[in-house]
Amino acid sequence: MKVTRILYRGSLSSCNYACGYCPFAKTTNTREELDRDRDQLQRFVDWAADCRQPLGVMITPWGEAIIHRYYRNAMIDLSRMDHVHRIAIQTNLSGYLGDLEDALVDRIAIWATFHPGETDLPRFLDRCATLQRLSIRFSVGVVGFQEHFDEIAELRKRLPGDVYLWVNVPKSSGIDYSDEELRFLSSIDPYFRWNLRRWPSLGAACQTGHTSFTVDGEGDARRCHFVDDVIGNIYRDDIWSLLKPTACPNSTCGCHIGYVHREDFGLDQLYGENLLERIPLTWPKIDFPMTDEPTSIPLTPLRPIR
Ligand code: SF4
Ligand code: SF4
């Protein structure tokens, strides 16, 4: 069965955290803006209910979404649609989670990011424990700033072993790791090297625009969050007839939610049906080819075992 993956990003643009590198740090939306975002999300949920195509949906908000009850309600509703195989969301995990118990747990998943300085480890681990109590699958991630290495190590130590901890590299900050730092980060996240650089991508075969696309609050669909061209509008067009394989038009791609769709990377074999929530299929068993020495990370990723 072919599941189309949709990344939804509405007009929300606010967050309760204050991460220094983020444009949404400590921003707020007005009541009117939140009402608009809620109406947009409901329209998308209604469209998803009617479309009857096998779907996987990932909410990738600007800012923090799940703190708003209407996002939790939308996830619950989507999880209860027979043709929606996955509903996942990116979150800082700061908000109330209890009502997600009404979701179908085999369909819902969470991409949670730990932000040292914005919350503390006990509080974050408590939220992870809540997800476990609810039997909701989740991955945890951190941004690999050197000043957070102690907390990252402690987080790995205290997270249950069956929870995958990924590391994103703050590439735009021009970070440059020493060999020792690379080894440390690879020990935390054995798949970290995929995120270490922006990959040359112009002309690369990429599933976005074919088996995956993004939708904004107005229903405009784009192949991915990094290419502005609009494919069509899910509310006005027969979007399914507009999806087709096309090569990447960008010179590079450096974000997980983009490059996982590269056909030559084969990362669908690493994540399988858990690709949206970034949980390796076999975690904690590692059976994807890796380099032993992080400094020898090749420019072109290794081919996966087929
Ligand atoms: S939690 Fe995420 S959205 Fe909020 S300020 Fe931090 S990085 Fe930005
Ligand atoms: S490789 Fe990245 S930037 Fe290019 S089309 Fe795919 S997701 Fe978009």
pLDDT in tens, 145-169: 999 999 999 999 999 999 999 999 9
pLDDT at 289: 67
From ligand 1's centre to the CA of 79, what distance in Å? 25
Q: Is the peptide bond before 116 cis (omega within 30 degrees of 0)?
A: no
Q: What 3-state DSSP class applies to 99? A: helix
Task: Indicate whether residue 116 lines ligand 1 (CB < 6 A).
Answer: no
Q: Which ligand is nearest to the CA of 12?
A: 1
Instruction: Please report, for the chain, the start and end positions of each structural domain, with discontinuous segments joined by +.
Output: 4-296
Task: Indicate whether residue 130 lines ligand 2 (CB < 6 A).
Answer: no
36 close to 20: Cβ distance less than 8 angstroms: no
Task: Indicate whether residue 7 lines ligand 2 (CB < 6 A).
Answer: no
From ligand 2's centre to the CA of 155, what distance in Å? 31
Which amino acid residue places its CA nearest to atom 3 of ligand 2? 253
From ligand 1's centre to the CA of 305, what distance in Å? 35
Q: Which strand (E) or helix (H) includes residue 287?
A: none
The whole-angstrom separation of Cα 55 and Cα 85 is 6
Which amino acid residue places its CA nearest to atom 5 of ligand 2? 248
Q: Which residues contact 242 (CB under 8 A, 6 or more apart)?
A: 221, 231, 232
Which amino acid residue places its CA nearest to atom 3 of ligand 1? 63
Q: Give CA separation, 216 vs 104, 187, 194, in Å.
A: 25, 37, 27
pLDDT at 297: 44
> Which token pair is 239?
């979007």
From ligand 2's centre to the CA of 134, what distance in Å? 34
Q: Which residues contact 78 (CB under 8 A, 6 or more apart)?
A: 45, 48, 57, 84, 87, 107
Query: Does CATH number 3.20.20 belong to domain 4-296?
Result: yes
Which amino acid residue places its CA nearest to atom 8 of ligand 1? 22
Low-confidence residues of the chain: pLDDT under 50: 291-306
pLDDT at 106: 95
Taking the mean position of all CA atoms in its chain, how far away is CA 133? 22
The whole-angstrom separation of Cα 14 and Cα 30 is 10
Task: Indicate whether residue 127 lines ligand 2 (CB < 6 A).
Answer: no
Taking the mean position of all CA atoms in its chain, how far away is CA 273? 13
Q: What is the pLDDT of residues 60-100, one digit of tens each?
A: 999 999 999 999 999 999 999 999 999 999 999 999 999 99
Task: Indicate whether residue 259 lines ligand 2 (CB < 6 A).
Answer: yes
Beta strand segments in 163-293, E: 165-168, 199-200, 205-206, 212-216, 220-222, 230-233, 246-247, 252-253
pLDDT at 290: 57
pLDDT at 123: 96
